[in-house]
Amino acid sequence: MIPVRGVEGQKILILGLGRSGLTAARAIQAGGGLPLCWDDGAPGRERAEAEGFVLHDPTAQGAFDEVAMLVTSPGIPHLYPGPHRAIAAALRAGVPVDNDIGLFFRSLATDRWDSFDVPPKVVAVTGSNGKSTTSALIAHLVAESGREVQLAGNIGRGVLDIDPPEDGGVVVLELSSYQTDLARALTPDIAVFTNLSPDHLDRHGGYGGYFAAKRRLFAEGGPDRAVIGVDEDEGLFLAGQLSQGPADDRVIRVSAGQKLAGPGWSVFARKGFLAEYRKGRQLASIDLREVRGLPGAHNHQNACAAYAVARSLGIAPRVIESALHSFAGLPHRSQLVAEAGGVRFVNDSKATNVDSAAKALQAFTGIRWICGGLEKEGGLEGLHPYLGGVVKAYVIGREAEHFALGLGEGVETEICGTMEQAVARAHADAKPGETVLLAPAAASFDQYDSFERRGEDFVARVEALLKS
């Protein structure tokens, strides 16, 4: 655990008692603070009481009279579409509002670090798509190089729940826009921006607010090195803002389809090959086509970003190349579930929006596509250019017919409704060389409580069919 620093003897109110909230309460207590806990749901309050924490209703009269800080969970809105009433009350009372990410960055470094030969490093990864895979891949590359590494944030453990890093240790954080938007301290050594596509727009007051939330990791944090995906205008703009000139190698530009020129530092993938350039010279090249855990151009972008971070940490290209081949990938992200009769079954349940589903569709051909769910803002027109590889779509979800209409007339569709029926129909229709791909392009909450549960259902249905 990382004890929170600077809270000795202070009353700190924690709002939201899920994983991050309860961990924050424990870390505040470990740092000598006095945690007061609240959750709008009775189960959360009961969990806190079971651990002996004091409950404190933030909406009561005078609730913030002696409170030094409010620490809120990421899922609770603090500005758009409207602040939670407890956060609004804290702001009116002049009480600072923070989250566990801010507490982590203000508390990680201690006097022990003065005795280390190599101070620990923090790598923080944000962006719309690929954050989890990039973060896990960075951790894998570091581990394969023989260094201590911990993975935390939106993946792995809560940030305050990790062990204090030792000499030369590396902490890799996956951070969402919800986390970067509010954290009062953001000081990673290396910060990564993968890409940007529309998501969570209601929470950030529009696309500009969403980008601004991501940008805070770089503008507020001032990382020693920034790894920036430049395939969208926002990434290109961000790289330009951070760089002092064309040869400034504190910014590493990353692309998944274009050759990057110039005297600076760049890593890009073209036609399945990763290339590293620095000062106008090629330093390394890696064939990504046979890296089974990273199929498709979107995963090649993840590989480029992870490679750039590993090189920034001093890991040699040959060590990185070897480690790439041993990376198994993550569940629900282009996860190869099975191969039978020449047909591949791939679980990309994490493809919850149009952009991520489009990337998954570009990674395969001969696709029996399982899609549908709770459709997000913007419609499905953005998918139309990428449906050429789809043989047939099998649509699930409570509004499957409406979703199928959004796909247009360019692809054959079948309304299945349930995952069980979709997997059975796709399996029955699939021919050798084809891929049954779950890439929903929609949220899961109409039928499942998370994209993980949806992916697990897909895997279970595939395994049951192949055993029968």
End-to-end CA, the chain: 46
Q: Is 129 annotated as a binding residue?
A: yes
CA 189/CA 194 separation, integer angstroms: 16
Closest to 4 in 3D by CA, of 173, 224, 158, 177: 158
Q: Is 128 annotated as a binding residue?
A: yes
Distances (CA, A) of 281 to 258, 262, 307: 16, 9, 17
- Ordered strands of the 11-15 beta sheet: 54-55, 34-38, 11-15, 67-72, 97-98
Q: Is 132 annotated as a binding residue?
A: yes
Strands (E), 91-208: 97-98, 121-126, 149-153, 170-174, 190-193
**Positive or negative: CA dihedral 77, 83, 86, 87:** positive
DSSP state of 224: S
CA 357/CA 353 separation, integer angstroms: 6
**CA angle at residue 146 from 110 to 194, to 5 degrees?**
75
Listed as own residue / partner, the contacts of 397-401 with beta carbons closer than 8 Å and 24 or more positions apart are: 397/372, 397/373, 397/440, 397/442, 397/446, 397/447, 398/446, 398/447, 399/372, 399/374, 399/375, 399/446, 400/372
Q: Is 133 annotated as a binding residue?
A: yes
Q: Is 127 annotated as a binding residue?
A: yes
Neighbours of 203 (CB within 10 A): 18
DSSP state of 394: E
Residue 396, phi then psi, degrees to nearest 5: -110, 175
**CA angle at residue 439 from 438 to 441, to 5 degrees?**
140
DSSP state of 376: P
CA 240/CA 251 separation, integer angstroms: 9
- The annotation places the binding site at 127-133
- The annotation places the binding site for ATP at 127-133
